[in-house]
Amino acid sequence: MKLVKNENEGIKEHVSDKEAEEAFVKILKWIGEDPGREGLLETPKRVVKAFKEYFSGYKENPGKILEKTFGDVDGYDDMVVQKNISVHSHCEHHMAPIIGVAHVAYIPKDRVVGLSKLARVVEVFSKRLQTQERLTMQIAHTLMDSLDAKGVAVSIDSTHQCMTMRGIKKEQATTVTNYYLGQFKEDLSFQNRYLRFIAK
């Protein structure tokens, strides 16, 4: 193991792929499996590869995604709403999947951002261990600060596999979180319009 500097988190202990694979071998033994049998020989390597994808958000800076903006918008100053952005995350308590959709809106001050960037910010924060409440707030604050927006609204509606597959096992339960900043928080007319848009 060695110490490396992570752009988002500072100095961290680096764990190699080989060390991670060895950890998954131990977990296979712990659950009662034989990691030496044919079907499991490559499983630790495959799980490490999958985890790199699941948690790729730790290596990305969401603020950088929003650096390029456009000012040629002819004075557009109403809300921009992007609905039904898919969310695939993992809860930090059980590392079980969180699957759902996010809705994002912002009111530009002078500049707008490419539409794909809104979904990219959602994805970066989703690809980390999360609570839904924190995920909702992280997206909102990043958009508000990076875009110097007049207001931001973020909603997430998702299913938590830690509730549906284990524990209380309520398969139909979904969780909704909302977070508002700026004009969306101060002016209920903006908030109500936004809620009507995402309900369609």
- Active-site annotation holder among 21, 33, 82, 92: 92
* 51, two tokens: 């985890």
Contact 105, 152 (CB under 8 A): yes
DSSP 166: S
Is 92 among the residues known to form the active site?
yes
Is 91 among the residues known to form the active site?
yes
Is 130 among the residues known to form the active site?
no
Angstrom distances, CA of residue 67 to CA of 45, 46, 102, 146: 36, 34, 22, 7
Contacts of 163 (CB under 8 A, 6+ apart): 169, 170, 173
For helices 115-126 and 132-147, the axis angle rounded to 10 degrees is 140
Is 90 among the residues known to form the active site?
no
Give the whole-angstrom CA distance, residue 24 versus residue 187.
51
Contact 100, 159 (CB under 8 A): yes
Is 160 among the residues known to form the active site?
yes
Beta strands at 129-130 and 80-91: parallel, antiparallel or unpaired: parallel
- Active-site annotation holder among 88, 94, 141, 161: 94
- Active-site annotation holder among 91, 103, 123, 130: 91
- Active-site annotation holder among 103, 138, 160, 191: 160
Is 38 among the residues known to form the active site?
no
- Active-site annotation holder among 22, 93, 133, 186: 93
- Active-site annotation holder among 33, 88, 141, 162: 162
Query: Which residue type sits at 182?
Result: G
Is 162 among the residues known to form the active site?
yes
Give the whole-angstrom CA distance, residue 26 versus residue 42.
14
Task: Please give the positions annotated as active site.
Answer: 91-94, 132, 160, 162
